[in-house]
Structure 1
């Protein structure tokens, strides 16, 4: 899928016993989950966003078929696409790559409602910046960084 000069490539995990390494180690991606060996489920989707053949973003999401009704997110007649991890390469940040990646995913999956988990102040600025709605799902965690966002 192309979004301008951005191409999304689905990544298939490499088998290592019961666990899988999904992406090759890279100094361009700082989040620790890319280097971990993980158990990968059939619902997991892993994508590498590339510009001119160079990896500029990584994303992991799951698809849940609908209809769903999630409080406080509301009805999701076509299901949910939940972005669990999204990171732009250090050298490609602040160039619109994150938004282009989200738009490319939306183009591939036009129907399910998109949601995303937020990990820290940096990702919160990103999701706020693209106009997504912040949802604090559990009052116990009010004010903490780990919240859910959904597209408008």
Structure 2
């Protein structure tokens, strides 16, 4: 299964509001609608295609801070947060999310991927990622999952 990752960037005509993704009812519109262009362009938006079909959307953030979580490894500037990931509704429960994360790790071999889990603990744990909790507990803060240092 091969995936094409297409980066989305604001165009020269995008001034204040940017609409990076085409309308698609297979995705949650509140996650992916308009973006404010306010100088913060550190994040990367990716559209994932399998052939001609859009199967996922990803937002990556290289500026993540995790030192307030308990016993996290020192990642320096290698940390790359998966801020959001969504597999198209019509393609869920087929193992595509797992395969996309593996392909993403191959795309960024010098980085350590991590994610704050939003009711997806089973998914991140199934990847073999390590869970870290905030000192205030998971009731107030999402669990943090970090990709293992040694990758197959």
TM-score normalised over the length of structure 1? 0.80
RMSD of the TM alignment (CA)?
Answer: 2.5
Question: Which residue matches 2:6?
Answer: 9
- Cross-structure match for 1:34: 32
More strand by share: 1
Between the aligned partners of 2:104 and 2:131, the Cα distance in structure 1 is: 20
Conserved 8 A contact 1:5-1:51 = yes
Of 19, 22, 33, the match for 1:21? 19
Q: Distance in 2 between matches of 1:98 and 1:81?
A: 17
What's the CA shift for 1:143? 3.3
**What is the CA-CA distance between 1:145 and the residue it aligns to?**
6.8
CA positional deviation for 1:25: 2.1
Matched ranges for 1:2-151 at <5 A:
4-13=1-10, 16-30=14-28, 32-39=30-37, 41-64=40-63, 70=67, 71=69, 72-77=71-76, 79-120=78-119, 123-139=120-136, 141-143=137-139, 146-151=142-147
TM-score with structure 2 setting the length? 0.80
Deviation >2 Å, runs of 4+: 12-17, 36-42, 68-72, 141-147
Aligned partners of 1:25 and 1:34 also within 8 Å: no
Aligned length: 144
Consecutive unaligned residues in structure 2, runs of 5 or more: none
Gaps of 5+ in 1: none
CA shift at 1:147, angstroms? 2.4
The alpha-carbon distance between structure 1 residues 63 and 126, as it changes in their structure 2 partners (threshold 3 A), is same
On the 8 A contact 1:118/1:145 being kept in 2, the answer is no
Retained in 2: the 8 A contact 1:13–1:23? no
